[in-house]
């Protein structure tokens, strides 16, 4: 089963074409990817024109996908379940350049990346 799903954020349209062997995995990915959190947990912004997707790759080759609140610069990171096959959006957090201690205990294969992905803000 193949799903094409589209999301529009900040005048940019993202189209995802997803095909997994398992139908539910396909649905899960399509639904999660096109439903980023659209209310910032830091500043309560809920204007969908004020969010954008952003990403970066660290020296170890880990890829980080973020939904960024343009109102305050907080980021909601796309997490991936350790068991594989599933993604989830983390709550918005602001990174101030210093290594932050996160209380988010959701499974995360990325771990804490230190200040690596805070350079833009």
Residues in the interface with Zn ion (CB under 5 A) total: 8
Distance in angstroms (rounded) separating the CA atoms of residues 28 and 20? 10
One residue of 42, 53, 54, 87 binding Zn ion per CB under 5 A: 42
Instruction: Pick between residue 93 and residue 116 the one whose CB is nearest to Zn ion.
Output: 93
Q: Which stretch binds Zn ion (CB under 5 A): 11-19, 35-43, 102-110, 111-119?
A: 35-43
One residue of 64, 71, 100, 116 binding Zn ion per CB under 5 A: 71
Distance in angstroms (rounded) separating the CA atoms of residues 26 and 88? 14
CA-CA distances (angstroms) from residue 3 to 16, 81, 109, 121? 8, 21, 25, 34
Please report the DSSP string for 12-46 in residue order. Answer: EEEEEEEE-SSHHHHHHHHHHHT----S-TTT---
Instruction: Pick between residue 18 and residue 78 the one whose CB is nearest to Zn ion.
Output: 78
Instruction: Pick between residue 28 and residue 71 the one whose CB is nearest to Zn ion.
Output: 71
Note whether 38 binds Zn ion by CB under 5 A.
no
Question: Where on the chain is the footprint of Zn ion (CB under 5 A)?
Answer: 40, 42-43, 45, 69, 71-72, 74
């Amino acid at each position: 089963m193949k799903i094409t799903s589209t999301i529009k954020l900040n005048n940019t349209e993202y189209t995802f074409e997803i095909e997994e062997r398992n139908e539910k995995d396909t649905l899960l990915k399509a639904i999660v990817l096109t439903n980023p959190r659209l209310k910032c947990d830091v500043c309560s912004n809920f204007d969908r024109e004020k969010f954008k997707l952003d990403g970066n790759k660290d020296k170890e080759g880990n890829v980080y996908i973020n939904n960024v609140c343009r109102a305050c610069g907080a980021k909601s990171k796309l997490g991936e379940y350790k068991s594989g096959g599933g993604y989830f959006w983390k709550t918005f957090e602001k990174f101030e350049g210093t290594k932050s201690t996160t209380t988010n205990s959701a499974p995360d294969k990325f771990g804490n990346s230190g200040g690596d992905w805070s350079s833009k803000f």
